[in-house]
Copies of this chain bind each other. A is one copy, B any other.
C-alpha cells in the first residue's frame, strides 16, 4: 500500500490543474460546500481552495496518522508536551472560566489560581480607572505604557489596536518594545510623568530590552518628578510587573500588590490571555477582556470536541501543511480587511514562525519536511495598492487568509460597504483570474485598437486558482477576536503535530543573545572580543564613525 505521503503527492499532481471554480459546482467532487461555522458567529470558508472531498479525506487521515487527537488531548490534560523543556502548554487553561473545563499542570489543578489572578486584574483595573491607584504625586493615571517585547508586546498591542472602538476606560495605552532608545523617547515625548503608569512585562524579568527600557523609564520619572533616584521604591507607584519571576520584580522596586504572575506552562507567544493581557483590560475594561477569553474558550471547546472532518483549526492546519509540503508554498499572507487588525500579520508572524520555525523533530532527529512558512501581510484595501500585483501575477504559490466583518463600529457604513465590495472582489479575482481572451474583450470594449488590446491582454492575464481561506463575522467584537486568535493558535499546533516538531520552545534565539553580550563591552569599553573578520570590520567602522 502506498504511503500517505505518496498518495498526497500523487493527489497534488492530479489537482494542480484542477480549477477550484469548477469544483464549486460539482457535487461529485464536493459533497457539501466547504464552509464551517463556529456558533453562527465565525464563518470560515475553504470553498475557494483547489481541494475536493478526496483532498480533505487524505488530510484528515494525515492528522489521524500523526496522532493529532491524542496529542491535542495530551495538551488538554496538562502533560509535558513541550518535550525538550519538559513542561505542559496550558494557554487553554487561561480562558476556561469558573464552571467550565478544569485544567491541570502535571496533575496539579491550575484553574483556581488562574481565576484568582484574573480577579486581581479586575480589581486592579477598577482601582486604576476609578483613580484609587495614584502616582507618586497623588495624581490618578491617564496613560499606561506597556514595556515588553515579543510575546509580552505583540499580543496585547495587536488586541488593543483591534479593539480600539471599545477603548472607553479613559486610559490611553501605548507600547514600547525596542531597545533602540528612539522607541521609548518617542513614546514619552508628550506624556505627563505624574499620570503615567508603566507595565513591565517579562516572563523572566531579565529580558535585556525590557529591563533597559524599564530602567530608562524610571530614570525619566525620577528626573521629571524630582524623586530620590537612590531609592528604587520612590517611583514604585508608577510600576506594575507581569512576570513569572516576582522576586526580581520586587528587587526592581515594584510593590507586591502590583506584581501579576504567570507561569512556566504559558509560552510567551501564547500569553496574551494571562496577566500579559493587563494592558488590554486597562484599555477596554475588564469585562471585555473576559469576553475575549470567552471567545477563545469557545474555539478551544470546538477544537477539543469536534470530529476532525468538521474541525476548523484541524482543517486549516492540515491545508497549510499540504500547501507547504506538496504545493511548494513558502509563504502565507494574512490580509485582514479591517484597519484595526493591521497588526494581526505581525502577531501571527511570531505565533507561527517562532513556534514552528524548527528543523529538529520531537524525537531529536532532523526534520524531513518543510516546517514554518514565512507569515506576512497587511490590511486591505491598502495591500491591494502594494503587493497584490505579485499575488495576482507573481510566479509563486502564496496561500492566503482574508477576513472581514459585516458591520463596522465606524460611523460611515457606506464606506464600510466599499471595503466589503473590495474584499469580495479580490476573493473572486484570486479564484477566477482572467484569461487572455476575457482581458482582451475588456480592452476592446474600452476602445483600444486590436493591437493595443492584444498586448494589454497578454500583460493582464491572471492565473487565479490561488489557495485562499475567507473568514467573516458579524462584527469584530472581543469575543470574535478571541475566537480568531485561538483558531490560529490551534492551527499552528496542528501544523507542528504534522511536522512532528515541538511548537512550544525556541532554542534558536539564544545564540544571538549570548553573542550580543560578548560584543557589547567591545563597543562601550573597547574590550577586546574575538569575532569573525566581517563582524570585526563592521564594528571598527561603527566605532570610527562614533568618535
Q: Which residues of B contact A154 (CB under 8 A)?
A: 386
A407-B545, A509-B385 are contacts. A418–B359 as well, Cβ < 8 Å? Answer: no
Q: Which residues of B contact A512 (CB under 8 A)?
A: 384, 388, 392, 422, 425-426, 429
Is the beta-carbon distance between A415 and B179 smaller than 8 angstroms? yes
Interface flag for A417 (CB, 8 Å) = yes
A429 to B532, CA, bound (A): 10
Q: Which residues of B contact A177 (CB under 8 A)?
A: 382, 385
Interface flag for A12 (CB, 8 Å) = no
Besides A180-B339, A392-B512, 6 new A-B residue pairs in contact (Cβ under 8 A), listed by A number = A84-B459, A178-B382, A181-B419, A353-B386, A427-B538, A462-B511
Query: Is the interface on chain A under 10, 10 to 19, 20 to 34, or 35 or more residues?
Result: 35 or more
Is the beta-carbon distance between A542 and B420 smaller than 8 angstroms? yes
Query: Would you give the 0/1 interface string for A379-405, flagging 1 where the beta carbon is closer than 8 Å to chain B?
Result: 111101111111111111010000010
Q: How close is A42's CB to chain B, nearest CB, in angstroms?
A: 11
Q: Considering only CB atoms, which chain B residue lies closest to A463 in the complex?
A: B359
Q: Which of A56-64, A95-103, A243-251, A366-374 contacts B (4 or more CB under 8 A)?
A: A366-374
Q: Which residues of B contact A358 (CB under 8 A)?
A: 389, 393-394
Interface flag for A412 (CB, 8 Å) = yes
Q: A422-444: which have CB < 8 Å to B?
A: 422, 424-429, 431-434, 442
Partner of A533, one of B25, B381, B514: B25
Interface flag for A137 (CB, 8 Å) = no
Q: Which residues of B contact A386 (CB under 8 A)?
A: 150, 154, 346, 349-350, 353-354
Q: How close is A330's CB to chain B, nearest CB, in angstroms?
A: 3
Q: Which residues of B contact A426 (CB under 8 A)?
A: 512, 515-516
Is the beta-carbon distance between A364 and B24 smaller than 8 angstroms? no
A533 to B333, CA, bound (A): 24
Is the beta-carbon distance between B424 and A359 smaller than 8 angstroms? no
Interface flag for A122 (CB, 8 Å) = no
A364 to B505, CA, bound (A): 49
Partner of A421, one of B183, B388, B463, B519: B519
Is the beta-carbon distance between B372 and A390 smaller than 8 angstroms? yes
Query: Would you give the 0/1 interface string for A445-482, flagging 1 where the beta carbon is closer than 8 Å to chain B?
Result: 00000000001101111110000001011100000000
Q: How close is A496's CB to chain B, nearest CB, in angstroms?
A: 13
Q: How close is A137's CB to chain B, nearest CB, in angstroms?
A: 24
Q: Which residues of B contact A371 (CB under 8 A)?
A: 394-395
Interface flag for A541 (CB, 8 Å) = yes
Interface flag for A36 (CB, 8 Å) = no
A380 to B181, CA, bound (A): 12
Q: Which residues of B contact A360 (CB under 8 A)?
A: 393, 458-459, 461
From A154, A268, A513, A534, name the one whose CB has the most chain B CB atoms within 10 angstroms.
A534
Between A and B, 23 residue pairs with Cβ closer than 8 Å are A24-B534, A33-B533, A164-B186, A178-B379, A180-B338, A181-B408, A181-B410, A186-B339, A333-B374, A346-B378, A358-B389, A358-B394, A372-B394, A374-B374, A374-B376, A384-B509, A414-B524, A418-B516, A424-B531, A424-B539, A425-B514, A434-B511, A474-B545
Interface flag for A88 (CB, 8 Å) = no
Q: Which residues of B contact A505 (CB under 8 A)?
A: 459
Partner of A390, one of B354, B427, B434: B354
Q: How close is A233's CB to chain B, nearest CB, in angstroms?
A: 23
A180-B379, A410-B181, A456-B507 are contacts. A415–B364 as well, Cβ < 8 Å? Answer: no
Q: Which residues of B contact A535 (CB under 8 A)?
A: 424, 427-428, 431
Interface flag for A518 (CB, 8 Å) = yes
Interface flag for A77 (CB, 8 Å) = no
Q: How close is A371's CB to chain B, nearest CB, in angstroms?
A: 5
From A151, A367, A432, name the one whose CB has the most chain B CB atoms within 10 angstroms.
A432
Q: A494-522: which have CB < 8 Å to B?
A: 505-520
Partner of A339, one of B182, B208, B544: B182
Q: Which residues of B contact A411 (CB under 8 A)?
A: 181, 185
Q: How close is A273's CB to chain B, nearest CB, in angstroms?
A: 18
A180-B339, A357-B387 are contacts. A459–B424 as well, Cβ < 8 Å? Answer: no
A178-B382, A431-B534 are contacts. A421–B516 as well, Cβ < 8 Å? Answer: yes
Query: Would you give the 0/1 interface string for A143-178, flagging 1 where the beta carbon is closer than 8 Å to chain B?
Result: 000000111011000000000110000000000011
Interface flag for A205 (CB, 8 Å) = no
Q: How close is A240's CB to chain B, nearest CB, in angstroms?
A: 20
A511 to B389, CA, bound (A): 10
Interface flag for A488 (CB, 8 Å) = no
Q: Which of A43-51, A277-285, A292-300 contacts B (4 or more CB under 8 A)?
A: A43-51
Interface flag for A195 (CB, 8 Å) = no
A357 to B408, CA, bound (A): 33
Is the beta-carbon distance between A216 and B45 smaller than 8 angstroms? no
Is the beta-carbon distance between A385 and B45 smaller than 8 angstroms? no
Is the beta-carbon distance between A179 and B381 smaller than 8 angstroms? yes
